Structure formats: C-alpha cells, structure tokens
Structure 1
C-alpha cells in the first residue's frame, strides 16, 4: 500500500520587476555582489511572513545560498543549475504561448560569478521582451528557483515561496492509497487505487465511502488506463472548486459497484492544520497498539504519556508501534522515542560531503519501557520515519512488519531567509543508518511482508497488526 500526495505550486502576484523604457530604471541584471541568505530565526520551517516580489537580486541570493548550504553545493557544476532553471523558464513560456527568440541560454564556462552574470543578463532581456504582467514574472522567478532546487536532486530541499499564494483547496475527505511502493512519479503507482482513510464529517463520509473502496473512475473517466494511474483523473480527487465530483467505486467486501456524487467542502482555512492525534489502545493478548502519525514536536512524550496511562489500568505485555504513513518530523523526537527501547546507542550518522560523520544517539533521559516491540511500516513511512525504522532494524530493537519504507530521508534541514521574505529549506548533510548504510532511495526492508490491501481494509482486517500480535504473544 502506498499513499500519494499531489502538491500544487502556484505563483505569487508581484508589483516589481516591470519593464521600463529607461534601462536605468530597471533592476540591474548584473548586481555587483550577492547579498547573503540568513539563517531563519524560527527553525527549519522558515519565516512565516508575507512574501514580497521575487526579483533578480532574490534569484542571485537563492543561487548563492544553494551553492553555500546544500550537500553537493561545494562541488556541483553551476551549469547544471542554470540549465535546469532555464528549462523550467522555457516550459513556462511555452505553456502560456509566450516563447521568445531571446529565451536562449547563453554560453557558460563553469565559473560561478561569470555564469551568473551571463544568466542574469539573458533573463532580464527576456523579461523586457514579455508583457508587463507581475504574475507572469513571479511565475518565471519561481521556475528559476524550482529548477535549481530540482537539479540538486535532494527531495528535502524546498523553497517556501512556491507554496505562498496557492489557491485555497477544497476537500472531499479522501486519503487515497495504492498498491506498490510510492515514488515521486505518480505513474509508478500500482493499481488498484483505493480509499485508505475517510475524514470524519467529510463529503466522502456523508456519501457512505469506506476504507478499502476501490476508486475505478472519476467523473466518468477511468482512473487506471493501460495499467497506469492517470494524474489528471487523480487531480479531481483534490478539487480546487466547489464543482461536484462523481466517483465510481467498487467495495470488495460486498462486490458492490456504484457512483457517488461528492460536493467538495469549503476551502481549507489558512494556517496549520490540526495534526491527527496519537492513539494508544489495548488489543489482543495485552498488546498496546500505538498509532503515531508523525514525529513532530511533542509526539514522543504524547506516546509515552498515553502508554503510561494505559499501563496503570491494564497489563501491557508488548507494543505494536504503527508508523504506516508516518510522514516524518524532528530528529529529536526520533531520539527520544528510541530512548524508550534502548540507551547509549548510536542510531544513525549525519555526514557532510567531506569530513567525518556525526553520530546520532538515543535520548537516554527517556525511561526504558522494558517491553517488546514490533514496528509496522509501509512505503509512506518517510524521512524521520525511515531513520527510526533503520535504527529499530540495526539495533535489533524489534521486528519490522508491513512493507519497505519510502527511502525518502535526508539529514537535518535548515532554513535560510531570502529578501522576498520566503525561505529556502536546505540540507547540508546526508543521513546514514546506524550501520552506516545508505537509506535515501532504498528505504528499510521489513522482516515480515504484510501489506494492507483494499480487500483487507474493506473487510475490516489488518494483516500487519495480526502478524505483529502473533509475534508478541507467541
């Protein structure tokens, strides 16, 4: 089983970088010195302020910030960054029917300062040849930064500006899943595509959808064509308008096929969503079933407090730690929760491109639970969840049941503020497992394969939990 998320980036409206008949009135394309990006004062998420126009000077700041603070920044050929940036720019122009003859990448030499000057001059010439449309200019600036970040090849490097100003999203209340392992390319998803979770009170719940219902078509168009999931059809499940969405479903438990019309709920409000809670319940054989949705701040304490409360009223003999679809979070939370199962252990390594690695260790201030543990994983156990799972395996803290983790893992990110009040979140080190194995792109293999299928969900069974309980009670 794998869940798939579609992120939609939108441009920002701006009022600067307008063309002028007077060259002296235009922002210079050849700034004499690049201002430095500054570390964000409020942690790895970056500044929350309102974005300002992304100017040519901002682009140079982003370029230099990437070279200074990413893992491969010291050795990357800057021509790779500029080629990716200009590829994005020309794609944006073509999409809008605005391609221009001046949109040609100039000769580059590999000398970083000279290459920036050549790129910036061409970029400004292109802006001068285009309509004086602030939204267009912002979209092109976004294309430049997005291209440079993509060229780095690290899925944890992001620009917060690409999400500022995005249109408010409507919701159907469906968290979809698919067979196979999640990858960045949605076409790699393996059918069937099904309902993994239904949000309480959502249009999906009101229409009677249940976990395990297989999504066969949306608005009359098959979701899977020639064995591949269609991104366009899938996009209807994450609507941006209030238009009704017709979903054709098949329920394996009853062999019923029907079409439900869902009316999207109002746009999601601005600001952070309330995260799903940690749940701790007692199941067969005195086993505590712990569902941990992420490793955000405070999660380890939440798990331990709820476990302690359960142990006051029940004889708990083991723990099933369900990290399926855990999207990751903070390394400190990983260290604290691992400290409940072992002390004085190296759990992983943070490594720069050159030089010695720094060990990551258990938080030994956490009292030991002294309970056997089985961890449940799947292909959406990512980032900090990858790191936690590798430590469980390498340190032999428990068995892994379910499916291989995502392999989307990096070192600790840091945020750097740009002059448009956005930030670049960049990773300067790579994360290795406790045995110094590479995790990124590979993930962590399980001891027992037990995928959560549409059939199992529809029938209300969970093979992974059943296997975990059997391991803890045998």
Structure 2
C-alpha cells in the first residue's frame, strides 16, 4: 500500500472517516406516507428496491430530524434530486419531454406531491431505468445537505471479478460511513508524493517514498496550486477501479518516468492495521499511534502507556493521530479525560443554538504527563474532537499540519423502508471554545509538513519536533 501526501497539507488526500454516534434519534417523525423514520432495531432484513416511496420517506426524515431540518428550504433537496434524475436520463440516452422540473412554492408537502407526480410519469416511461433513477435521485438529495456526516448506505451490485479497495497499493483509509477524499481536497498543496509503499502494484513497480506524482492519466494533480479532480482517480469507487497511468519524478536522481498500476489483491501489513501501536522513544517518552477511535481504544492507549511506564519514569507522551479518521466521540472524550478533569470537551448544538455540553469523564485516571499530538489532514471527526480539546484546553501542543475539517456532528442512523440506512447529524459540533471546526479544521501549534525529501530519507520532521519540545 502506498500512502500519498501533499507537501504542506499532510495527508490531505487520504480518506477521512465519518463517525456514527450510538445515540438514538431525536424523534420518530412520521412521513406524509405514514411510514416512520426511526433508529434501526436489530439487524435489518435483506435490502429491497429503492422506490419513490423510499425517497419520500428519506425526504421527510431529513426535514423532521436533520440538524437544520426545521429551517431548511426543502426546495434545495428536490432540485438536487431532479438534477440527478435528468442527468441519469441523459446519460442513458433516454431524455423525455415530460422530464421538466415542476414549479415549487416552498410548501414542503405540496412541493413533494408535485415532484412525485412528475417523477412517476418519467419512471413509467422508462421502467428499465427505474432503479438507477431512484438511487441517483436519493443520493443527490442526501448530498444536497452538504454535510460530511450525512450518508445513505445501500448495496452497490458489483460483478464477481471486481476488486474494490486498495488495489493499486495506494493508501486508502476505509470506513463504514463512506469515503471522503481528505475531507477537503481544496486545501491540499502540491506536490503529491509517495510516503510509504506497503505492497501491491506500487511495490512491484518499484515506487519509493518521496516519488512525486506529476500526472494521473495524463492530467496534473494540481493546476495553479489547486487540487484537480484527477487526484480522485487514485481513490476509485465502484465501478471506477481500473488501471491508472502515472507520471513520476524521483527528485534524488532527477529521473522522470511513467508506469501503469493495475488494481489487484495484495497482502496487507498486519502491524500497520493495528488500532494502537506503541514504543519507547529517547528512553523516557511514550509514543502511541492511534489509527481510529474504535470501541475501547482509549483504554488500549492507557494500557500501552502503562506498559511503557513500568520500571521507568516517563517524561512525556507523543500521541500520533495522523491518518486517524475518527470514530466514537465517547472514546475521544475519555482520552481527553486522561489529561484534565471538569472541563467541556465539545458542544453539540441544534440549529437554534441549544447546546449539550460534553464533559470530561472524571472517572478516568489522570496520566499527569506532558503531551504532544501529531496531526495531519486525515485527522477527522472524533480525531478533531480530541485535537481541538487539547488545543483549546491547553493540555498539550499539536504538531504537524491542520486537521481535516470533517466534523459536522455525530451521525445518527435511520432505517428506511427498503432496509437501507440513512444517517446524518441531529446536532452540529462546536469546539470547547464554541468555535466551528467543520470545514476549517484545527490548526497545529507547530506547523511541520512532510516534504518529498523527508519521505525519501525516511525522516519524520513532525515527530522530531515533538521530541525536541518534550526534551526542552
């Protein structure tokens, strides 16, 4: 597996995870069709076809339960859905004279009735496209929220020979709520380069850390310093995984060359997949890498530090959260609680600014150790919850690059009538100082980006800076 970075934005192009909170939904709002938008209870049955009735249920579920559902202009959802509907017709060469957007008035129920009437006329004319049109319409309605923790999870039918995953050997970070390329690829800065090679086609092709990716299928990853859609080719979703042509530069030798990477299965490094890894540095500093806020991850961090503390006096902790896509907000709060008690770690707020305070868990034993936290553009969601608490509460210092800015709020799941899951936040996240972190990220106290030369030489400047600060 090859992990790629941008020079000044860290892992700005890795996949960032969206967390799903276990909390129950705010309400069980009945839709106009009389169906209920409710939290899943037990394992759902087999998925059935997506229909206009399922789309209706999702539409009213969003309006009744989403963070800003009460104030949302529902016309934006229906317009986005109809745009997708028209585009799918056009892609299939089946455009229809009746496929025009109905007039919308702002009355949510009346607008839905108008939308549904036209939708049914269209799908009656092209019954063979009914499934495609329904899926595309519902995906677009959810995407119109513009919320990085909103997702509709449904099965995508893949052919038996299709490989979906890290087939190029290019670094992926997968998650249950769907991928987002770095959360905010627009903040990525050139160059795009390899940081590690762990297997697959990349290793077979002789890629090395520090190799700069100059073009992807003939297109530059950056134009005028801004990230282009070409980068997304390296993170394909079904059905887009296919051989990719790269143009590369090895700065140490000045060599330019091209290669084609073909997707395929390869053996992963099991150690690199461990949620928690730890080691002793400089004889007295505990280094702990946490790859995600999985259940019980905070306890595993505490146990790792305790083992390193046995028989010696520790002088500090370096917590490496680079590439941490998030997970459980509860675990993030518990980890913060090892460094302070009696403090607010975050706020979860409704659209009318009514907020729930998330307090530290004072049953967690304090570590009483200086703390350095390594962050990058793939530190997202619960990782940003933790990082913002460390920064705002002055519990330690952040070293590396800004976090992803993918923390709209904990997503809550709702079961739809075809046994698919719709999830989105009922409340939005604010940091301990009541600041918005979503789409912005948490800036480090010490900005220490990785360069291609660092990667080629095996250097980790952010870790080196953290150790220097602890050893002062």
Counterpart check, 1:39 vs 2:31: no
Which deviates more, 347-356 or 113-122?
A: 347-356
Deviations 1:241-289 (A, max 9, x none): 89655533323344444444544223999xxxx9543111112352222
Q: In 2, distance between residues paired with 1:302 and 1:232? A: 39
Counterpart check, 1:155 vs 2:148: yes
Q: How does 1:416-435 map to 2 (within 5 A)?
A: 416-435=414-433
1:112 maps to: 108
1:164 maps to: 156
Change (3 A) 1:366 1:57: same
Q: Runs of 5+ in structure 2 lacking a partner?
A: 1-9, 17-30, 174-180
Counterpart check, 1:310 vs 2:308: yes
Which deviates more, 349-358 or 212-221?
A: 212-221
1:471 maps to: 469
Counterpart check, 1:138 vs 2:137: no
1:432 Cα deviation (Å)?
Answer: 0.7
Residue 390 of structure 1, aligned match among 373, 388, 391: 388
1:460 Cα deviation (Å)?
Answer: 1.0
SS of 2:379's equivalent in the other structure is: coil
Counterpart check, 1:81 vs 2:77: yes
1:55 maps to: 51
1:426 Cα deviation (Å)?
Answer: 1.4
SS of 1:155's equivalent in the other structure is: coil
How many residues get paired? Answer: 434
Counterpart check, 1:94 vs 2:90: yes
Which deviates more, 436-445 or 257-266?
A: 257-266
1:159 Cα deviation (Å)?
Answer: 0.3
Q: In 1, distance between residues paired with 2:403 and 2:243? A: 35
Q: In 1, distance between residues paired with 2:283 and 2:58? A: 55
SS of 1:3's equivalent in the other structure is: coil
Q: In 2, distance between residues paired with 1:192 and 1:400? A: 23
1:252 maps to: 251
User: Is contact 2:318-2:374 (8 Å) kept?
Assistant: yes
Normalising to structure 1: TM-score of the pair?
A: 0.83
2:458 maps to: 460
2:295 maps to: 297
SS of 2:191's equivalent in the other structure is: strand
Q: In 1, distance between residues paired with 2:169 and 2:312? A: 35
Counterpart check, 1:370 vs 2:368: yes
Residue 319 of structure 1, aligned match among 296, 317, 320: 317
Q: In 1, distance between residues paired with 2:157 and 2:418? A: 13
Q: In 1, distance between residues paired with 2:421 and 2:232? A: 30
2:200 maps to: 202
SS of 2:310's equivalent in the other structure is: helix
Q: In 1, distance between residues paired with 2:125 and 2:421? A: 29
Deviations 1:385-432 (A, max 9, x none): 111111001111001111121221122211000011101011110111
Counterpart check, 1:3 vs 2:12: yes
2:25 maps to: none
Deviations 1:6-50 (A, max 9, x none): 79xxxxxxxxxxxxxxxxxxxxxxx973311221135xxxx5654
RMSD of aligned residue pairs (Cα, Å): 2.9
User: Is contact 2:348-2:355 (8 Å) kept?
Assistant: yes
User: Is contact 1:3-1:176 (8 Å) kept?
Assistant: no
Residue 69 of structure 1, aligned match among 65, 69, 72: 65
Q: How does 1:6-21 map to 2 (within 5 A)?
A: none
Q: In 2, distance between residues paired with 1:60 and 1:248? A: 47
Deviations 1:25-83 (A, max 9, x none): xxxxxx973311221135xxxx5654210111111111111111101111112212111
SS of 1:39's equivalent in the other structure is: coil
Normalising to structure 2: TM-score of the pair?
A: 0.84
SS of 1:333's equivalent in the other structure is: helix
Q: Runs of 5+ in structure 1 lacking a partner?
A: 8-30
Deviations 1:123-179 (A, max 9, x none): 00011122x32xx32221122222222222211111002x533554150111289xx
1:471 Cα deviation (Å)?
Answer: 0.7
1:28 maps to: none
User: Is contact 1:450-1:464 (8 Å) kept?
Assistant: yes
Q: In 2, distance between residues paired with 1:433 and 1:253? A: 43
User: Is contact 1:172-1:237 (8 Å) kept?
Assistant: no
1:448 maps to: 446
1:218 Cα deviation (Å)?
Answer: 4.2
Deviations 1:153-206 (A, max 9, x none): 211111002x533554150111289xxxx765756643211123333x422223
1:336 maps to: 334
User: Is contact 2:184-2:404 (8 Å) kept?
Assistant: no
Deviations 1:307-327 (A, max 9, x none): 211222554211111112211
Q: Which has the higher contact order (CA 8 A, sep 6+)?
A: 2
Q: In 2, distance between residues paired with 1:473 and 1:377? A: 20
1:437 maps to: 435
1:376 Cα deviation (Å)?
Answer: 1.2
Q: In 2, distance between residues paired with 1:367 and 1:255? A: 53
User: Is contact 1:386-1:407 (8 Å) kept?
Assistant: yes
